[in-house]
Structure 1
Amino acid sequence: MTLPQPYRPDPRILELGEAFYDAVEAARFPDCKPRFLNERAAAEVGLAETDWAAHFCRFEPLPDNLPQPLALRYHGHQFRNYNPDIGDGRGFLFAQLRDDAGRLMDLGTKGSGRTPYSRFGDGRLTLKGGVREVLATEMLEALGVATSRTFALFETGEQLERNDEPSPTRSAVLTRLSHSHVRIGTFQRLAYFGETENIGKLVAYAHEHLFGEPADSGAVRLLEIVAERTARLAAGYMAAGFVHGVLNSDNINVTGESFDYGPWRFTPEWDPGFTAAYFDHMGLYAFGRQPEAIQWDVAQLGGCLSLVADDHKALGDALGSFAGDFHEALSAALVKRLGLRAGEAEEDRVLARAIIAALATRQVGIDRFFFDWRGGKRPAGDAYSGPAFDALAHAIGSRRGGRDHAYWSDEGPCSMHIEEVEAIWAAIAERDDWGPFEAKVAAIRRMGEATAEA
């Protein structure tokens, strides 16, 4: 049994100074109705006994933490177009604290009101957007993808007008728990203004407080770490069949955790051209192009770090490591999702290529494939006939993994496709029925328990 962790506040962001953020006030909401409280995550950061509404709807400061919320400053490339007019426009950094592993964690918000970067927005979040983010983060966590975690979701009692969904629609405020909100776009803003001294400060902050390395480890080392972590993230997306939808440089943080979920979807089949965002007309962030998109963002970080790096060749080598890191991470992620322990590197690469070739036949969906092949034994049936599946069985050989959890005896896999998401929301919107949402979260967590078993 895991014992509750002590609350350990540690607002390190203040070391960076006011050039990195703006103090803001949270919106005042007419209601604070809890819709999702992540008690599992709360126990890991010493907030098991917290007053949820006070701190995560009214945003009263946590003890010995940030006295006022901070809207973080950043720029970013959005669909490859540079935008200097962005920043935390409907969220802020609320608190920093240590988790049960000693990592510095951020509690950040979405839908908490207007900031200096809201432009023409109202600073609010729709309840549907909040529900979708819960489902995305829970599913990705269960599948082993590095992700922020939805900490709390409150319905706030306002009616919002939106152009891309039926309006008026219900409002919400969400708090996420993540290992940093330092984005590639944070560095881009500093580079845009030529603030080399602050770039150096941010490099040191990341090393010391995010990566546990000496503060003077330098720009090259930072790019090596970010390239490796974001390559692992791209691999996680592919193995999960996930499409983030908006992989702009302001949506990629240096710790390599996925966050800020908007038009995300899971692709039903291994379809490289599958897109999530209706406005992604060119397929820039399509399923199969996500590694390329993330690598491009990391290259923008490399450009920023070139302003403070002593060795530009080493910086280029660090950026060039992304492709190798990605392929290694993808092999590991696919083998793990199949329920097999890691083998020799070349064996795992061969097996990963066979998995992808089998998925590319699109004879079955991604979730069904990994559910049926879990543990490495070839399932019976016509769905798995053909050369690609013969090659897969050969690549697996005698390797076997466990299928002991009761989940693997279910009729089919737990999935999270758009039809399911819309049905869950329809029950809430039409009948205020939260049963399907709560049942889905429970089913996802049960799947996570099963997939965590070797």
Structure 2
Amino acid sequence: MRAEPQAAPYTPASPITSLSDWLAVPVDPADFPETTLRFRNTRWDSSVGLGELGDADWVRHFGRFEPLPQNLPRPLALKYHGHQFRVYNPELGDGRGFLFAQLRDGAGRLLDLGTKGSGLTPYSRTADGRLTLKGAVREILATEMLEALGVNTSKTFSVIETGEELFRQDEPSPARSAVMVRLSHGHIRIGTFQRLLYHDEREHLAQLVDYCLAQYPGPLPPEDVPGRDEPAVILLHQVVGRLASLAAQWAVAGFVHGVLNTDNMNISGESFDYGPWRWLPKWDASFTAAYFDHARLYAFGRQAEALHWNCGQLAVALRMLAEAPPLIAALERFGPLYQTALARQFVWRLGLKPKGFTADAALVAEAEKAMHEAGGAPHSFFHRHRFGRAAPENAFGALLKSYEAVDQDHEIWAEGDSPALLIDDVEALWSRIADHDDWSALHDKVAQIRRLGSALGVPPITGY
């Protein structure tokens, strides 16, 4: 069974304050006309000691942003730059969000509570600093499904409707408004490092590397790689491993993020910031989520390439601290790490016991061919063939029959299909809210998704 989040006492922590003089600016939240609680993450609230908060106190903290006890006295809008569709933009930063609090879980790991739609900041540019309610609902759905499918993702912690009318070009307007809080291990982005390179802040870059190594610890690089004792090289190896695993997890989930800019790449390796995401209606490498991605730069089949390119931009920034050869050596590990993670994740989702990389990679190759030829939705393919069931009379079926299944004891696998989040499913859920203010379908879908996650069990270890 999938490991549930463990209850822990409230443990405030604010290590970000050691960097905040140059990494962020204090800001004030918007004063919303209304605050109606719409979603509270009951899987994760107790993991940071906030499960006992009543709804009124929850809204005070996550709708009005009254500081949590002994935590950040004011929210912090983080500074960063980034490549957006491979074009460098130095005018970024938290434009409709901020870091609200930092806490420790029961294992001592740092967790951030960050916002989306919480008001104007110095980096809002021409935007209004707000989030539509539909955007918040889509974020709930994306994070819940990705978590169930074994993807390293931020968690949607809270959604509160705020009573404003918003005008958007890509939604019927006026649109309802909301403020969202996400839970993740950190909000340090590749673009955070790029900004320090842009301003030639070598000392601050070194401090940021040390912060990331301390707060998001990971394994040391292999002994045979150059520069394995240098902090900047260690960090790049860790980020390469995390993002290679993330790209593999997205692939096996059949998920297309849509906007893989360097300001959307978290050093902790977590997927976050869900805008024009989609799940594949069929196995198609060219499928693109964002209507404005005319060159298909971030198409489904190019997501690993995009994350590798983004790691390269981190390496460029880290050249302020390390020589090129050990950084290049770290980047060269991305491909093998991705292929290993892909095979591991694929076999896990099929409910099979791994045989080893060579055999598992061969299974993946034949499964991809079979999915492409069948033309159905990937979620149905994985459900139909879970535990090696319904093996077709082809090369994929022959390999499938050669595997041993894991424990099959869950009633969901006897059902006709798994829960899905194709675009029609998402729009139907939203219509119930938009037309009738009926939230029952959303809550039912979240319950179904969590049941799927429980049935799939604990995913393979991320990273390397």
TM-score (norm: length of structure 1): 0.95
1:343 aligns with 2:355: yes
Measure the CA separation in 2 of the matches of 1:183 and 1:391.
Answer: 39
Q: Deviations over 1:59-88 (max 9, x none)?
A: 000011100000000000000000001100
Q: CA deviation at 1:267?
A: 0.7
216-225 or 407-416, larger mean C-alpha shift: 216-225
Tell me what 2:28 maps to.
Answer: 25
336-345 or 35-44, larger mean C-alpha shift: 336-345
- Aligned with 1:150 (options 138, 152, 156): 156
Tell me what 1:372 maps to.
Answer: 384
Secondary structure of residue in 2 paired with 1:151: strand
Q: CA deviation at 1:174?
A: 0.2
Query: 2:302 is matched by which residue type in structure 1?
Result: R
1:334 aligns with 2:339: no
Q: CA deviation at 1:398?
A: 4.1
Measure the CA separation in 2 of the matches of 1:4 and 1:264.
Answer: 31
- Mark the CA change 1:431 to 1:100 in structure 2 (over 3 Å): closer, same or farther: same
Measure the CA separation in 1 of the matches of 2:362 and 2:5.
Answer: 39
Q: CA contact under 8 A between 2:388 and 2:401: conserved in structure 1?
A: yes
Tell me what 1:161 maps to.
Answer: 167
Identity fraction in percent: 52
Measure the CA separation in 2 of the matches of 1:192 and 1:392.
Answer: 53
Measure the CA separation in 2 of the matches of 1:3 and 1:222.
Answer: 28
Tell me what 1:317 maps to.
Answer: 329
Tell me what 1:283 maps to.
Answer: 296
Tell me what 2:462 maps to.
Answer: none
Measure the CA separation in 2 of the matches of 1:362 and 1:305.
Answer: 45
Secondary structure of residue in 2 paired with 1:361: helix
Q: CA contact under 8 A between 1:374 and 1:401: conserved in structure 2?
A: no
Tell me what 1:300 maps to.
Answer: 313
Query: 2:428 is matched by which residue type in structure 1?
Result: A
Q: CA contact under 8 A between 1:402 and 1:453: conserved in structure 2?
A: no
- Mark the CA change 1:425 to 1:3 in structure 2 (over 3 Å): closer, same or farther: closer
Tell me what 1:35 maps to.
Answer: 38
Where do residues 171-320 of structure 1 align in structure 2 (5 Å cutoff)? Answer: 171-211=177-217, 218-309=231-322, 311-320=323-332
Query: 2:235 is matched by which residue type in structure 1?
Result: L
Q: CA deviation at 1:212?
A: 6.0
Query: 1:44 is matched by which residue type in structure 2?
Result: S
- Mark the CA change 1:3 to 1:293 in structure 2 (over 3 Å): closer, same or farther: closer
Query: 1:189 is matched by which residue type in structure 2?
Result: R
Q: CA contact under 8 A between 1:196 and 1:308: conserved in structure 2?
A: yes
Q: CA contact under 8 A between 2:6 and 2:47: conserved in structure 1?
A: no
- Aligned with 1:426 (options 422, 431, 438): 431
Q: Deviations over 1:194-217 (max 9, x none)?
A: 111111000000001111689x85
Secondary structure of residue in 1 paired with 2:314: helix
Count residues in correspondence: 445
- Aligned with 2:410 (options 405, 420, 441): 405
Secondary structure of residue in 1 paired with 2:242: helix
Q: CA contact under 8 A between 2:150 and 2:249: conserved in structure 1?
A: yes
Measure the CA separation in 2 of the matches of 1:196 and 1:259.
Answer: 28
Q: CA contact under 8 A between 1:238 and 1:330: conserved in structure 2?
A: yes
Q: CA deviation at 1:360?
A: 2.1
Measure the CA separation in 2 of the matches of 1:254 and 1:396.
Answer: 39
Measure the CA separation in 2 of the matches of 1:2 and 1:182.
Answer: 23
Secondary structure of residue in 1 paired with 2:157: strand
Tell me what 1:358 maps to.
Answer: 370
Q: CA contact under 8 A between 1:76 and 1:185: conserved in structure 2?
A: yes
Tell me what 2:226 maps to.
Answer: none
Measure the CA separation in 2 of the matches of 1:208 and 1:450.
Answer: 34
Q: Deviations over 1:100-152 (max 9, x none)?
A: 23210100000000000000111000000000000000000000000000000
Q: CA deviation at 1:363?
A: 3.6
Q: CA deviation at 1:350?
A: 1.8
1:76 aligns with 2:88: no
Q: CA deviation at 1:412?
A: 1.4
1:58 aligns with 2:61: no
Q: CA deviation at 1:2?
A: 7.8
Measure the CA separation in 1 of the matches of 2:333 and 2:97.
Answer: 33
- Mark the CA change 1:12 to 1:267 in structure 2 (over 3 Å): closer, same or farther: same
1:44 aligns with 2:47: yes
Measure the CA separation in 1 of the matches of 2:375 and 2:218.
Answer: 45
Secondary structure of residue in 2 paired with 1:428: helix
Q: CA deviation at 1:393?
A: 2.8
Query: 1:367 is matched by which residue type in structure 2?
Result: H
Measure the CA separation in 1 of the matches of 2:47 and 2:390.
Answer: 39
Measure the CA separation in 1 of the matches of 2:348 and 2:161.
Answer: 37
Q: CA contact under 8 A between 1:350 and 1:395: conserved in structure 2?
A: no
Q: CA contact under 8 A between 2:388 and 2:400: conserved in structure 1?
A: no
Measure the CA separation in 1 of the matches of 2:77 and 2:108.
Answer: 25
Secondary structure of residue in 2 paired with 1:347: helix
- Mark the CA change 1:291 to 1:2 in structure 2 (over 3 Å): closer, same or farther: closer
Q: CA deviation at 1:16?
A: 1.2
Q: CA contact under 8 A between 2:134 and 2:430: conserved in structure 1?
A: yes
- Aligned with 1:5 (options 2, 8, 18): 8
Q: CA deviation at 1:226?
A: 0.2
Measure the CA separation in 1 of the matches of 2:106 and 2:241.
Answer: 24
Tell me what 1:450 maps to.
Answer: 455
CA RMSD of aligned residues (A): 1.6
TM-score (norm: length of structure 2): 0.93
Secondary structure of residue in 2 paired with 1:40: coil
Secondary structure of residue in 2 paired with 1:447: helix
Q: CA deviation at 1:268?
A: 1.3
